[in-house]
Amino acid sequence: MDSADMHGRLINVPGRQLFAVEQGDGSPVLFLHGIPTYSYLWRDLLPVVALNHRAIAVDLSGFGRSEKRPGWDYSVAAQADAVRSLLRQLDIERVALVAHDLGALVAVELLAREPELCSHLVLLNTSLRPAAWSGGLSPLSILRLPPAGGLALALSRRWMLKRAMALYVDRRDRLTDVVLDRYWWPFDHGFKGTLLNLSRHRFAAPDDFERWRDTLQRLTIPALIVWGADDPTFRLAEMHDLAALLPHARVQPITNANHFLQEDKPQAVARLINAFLAGLD
């Protein structure tokens, strides 16, 4: 797989390179993925949103096709620094943010720093409660047990990723060999080091979560919460928690959709986003 195959490009930001896929023209919409995915997660949504907007999906630092190096800071704060620099490189002054999982934390960090940066906010299957990132079925939990984490990653294989993703996708027919090859590709190109880094270094402090919650409570821009109702990690209780922080937001749970609702119901999610951005919700 090469950059041309992904229809994107590497963009220089201070100290590193980020890979971004861009389609369409109009007001900009930035898509932020989570763990362990990358911009490929949004492949079926981008063309729909790009009918009316400049749709951009970025690989967070250390993920996907973006540059990766041992010892780099992959905290939410560092990711927000890199994404903000990317927006400057793309000459974007104001943007709609569509963010999933860890990417949602990056989005809210950007909002906390510069509320005027964001025109609309869409949050998908995430949590602003620290406990949700450390317990239960969290994919990082086993990696927090040195040396188990390093050994687990060293021994990880593509079939293991398939089994893990199957817990978070209702439409398992979507996990074809081609799709799994794409999701596995970063693991063979440095992403295992990023995962181990995330597991052993705190990517956010409890005070950060409190600050982010306060940011959402003060938010006045249009907001949409879209949720895969079958998510075993970020359950509907997390959706209701976000809804309480954003009482003016539209909240849309989606049945027969899991954590990776972009795989389960891509067209439905894309239509919801387009209607929301058009003010038709």
Which two structure tokens, joined as six digits, stand for 149? 């984490």
Give tens-digit pLDDT for 187-222: 999 999 998 888 888 899 999 999 999 999 999 999
Residue 134 has a CB neighbour count (10 Å cut-off) of 10
Is the backbone of residue 248 left (phi > 0), alpha (psi -120 to 50) or beta? alpha
Give tens-digit pLDDT for 145-179: 455 555 566 667 888 888 889 999 999 999 999 99
Is the backbone of residue 114 left (phi > 0), alpha (psi -120 to 50) or beta? beta
Match 């038709």 to its residue by tokens: 280
Residue 281, pLDDT above cutoff 80: no
Higher pLDDT residue, 165 or 84? 84
Rounded CA gap, 87 and 78, in Å?
14
Residue 252, pLDDT above cutoff 90: yes
Question: Domain residues for 258?
Answer: 3-277
| CATH code, 48 | 3.40.50.1820
Match 């997390």 to its residue by tokens: 238
* Largest Cα span, the chain: 51
Domain tally for the chain? 1
Q: Please indicate, yes or no, whether the overall pTM of this predicted structure exceeds 0.75.
A: yes
Confidence of residue 3 (pLDDT cuts 50, 70, 90): very low
Rounded CA gap, 168 and 259, in Å?
5
